[in-house]
Amino acid sequence: MASVRDVAAYILAKEAPMSAMKLQKLCYFAYGYHLAWEDRQLFPERFEAWANGPVVYELYEQHRGRFNLNRGDITGDPTVLDDDEQDSVNVVLENFRAFDAHELSAMTHQPGPWLDARERAGVTDLQRSDEELRDEEIADFFGALVGRED
């Protein structure tokens, strides 16, 4: 299984440069759709319900303090993604590349896994939270989206 750094490196290899926020959100959408399509995690690291949407802390550590990221800025191996993982990420990139970081962030703020985690944590809009998003909720949310697209 790939790590979040591997997936991020794969995304940057195809779409760099981009903002760190956009990278985090693309990783989230890739994770969610992959979970719905393949019924398995894209990577083992967990998303947390931060104020600006879902964030993987391990990826954040890689880009902390940097706004724009280029190919090679994340220490991951894009070649470890299997064909199904690459397909999931490629479909997400194809469909979401036109959106900027703030538009992608707004999409994550709709009723669903991120909002559920924020409510569990009992935090207000701008408060910090390390509450994890649950795979069951992510799978249900993205599974419903996939069902509507058929």
pLDDT along the chain (150 residues), means of 10: 97 97 98 97 98 97 96 97 98 97 95 97 94 98 79
Q: Rounded to the nearest 5 degrees, what angle is found at the Cα of 82, between the Cα atoms of 45 and 52?
A: 35
- Predicted TM-score (pTM) of the model is 0.96
Exposed, middle or buried: residue 123 (CB in 10 Å: 0-12, 13-18, 19+)? middle
pLDDT (0 to 100) of residue 150: 40
pLDDT (0 to 100) of residue 148: 53
Contact 68, 28 (CB under 8 A): no
Closest among 147, 143, 144, 121 to 133, alpha carbons compared:
121
Strands of the chain (E only): list them.
18-19, 47-50, 53-56, 68-69
- Number of other CB atoms surrounding residue 109 within 10 Å: 15
pLDDT (0 to 100) of residue 12: 98
Give dist(CA 148, CA 64) in Å, integer: 36
pLDDT (0 to 100) of residue 147: 84
Domain ranges in the chain are 4-143
To the nearest 10°, report the CA torsion of 74, 58, 136, 88: 10
Among positive and negative, which fits the CA dihedral 122, 44, 91, 55? positive
